[in-house]
Amino acid sequence: VQLQASGGGLVPAGGSLRLSCKASGFTYAYYAIAWIRQAPGKGREWVSCISASGGTTDYADSVKGRFTISRDRAKNTVYLQMNSLKPEDTAVYLCARSRYASGGSQAGHYNAWGQGTQVTVSS
């Protein structure tokens, strides 16, 4: 199982970034995928998830209305479009595969993790 996150960078407050999570080594279409972030000195925070079918999405209150998760079955890739970025969005963003076709905010849902991509938002 491999989950390769990319697309991070340094942006000013109010800017946008699109993160990508490329999946391989498993049947991508069977599993929900989530984005989780970890800010310096803090624990992991669940950000968003998308079901295996792509028909159900969910977001943390802190990003609702600003972030959009989507998936491209042909490319085995999940995206996180992040708009109106704030300095408090600064973190390492990781993608994770759920044990199930549906996602959730609990850490126990996820049993495979990729390496992270750094997002830094300057004020």
Q: Are 116 and 92 in contact (CB under 8 A)?
A: yes
**Other beta carbons less than 10 A from residue 25's beta carbon:** 11
What pLDDT score was predicted for residue 111?
A: 93
Residue 123 confidence (pLDDT): 93
For 94-122, what is each residue's pLDDT tens digit? 999 999 999 899 988 999 999 999 999 99
Per-residue confidence (pLDDT) for residue 107, from 0 to 100: 84
Tell me the pLDDT tens digit for each residue of 39-96: 999 999 999 999 999 999 999 999 999 999 999 999 999 999 999 999 999 999 999 9
CB 98 within 8 A of CB 33: yes
Position 103 scores a pLDDT of: 87
Residue 18 has pLDDT above 90, yes or no: yes
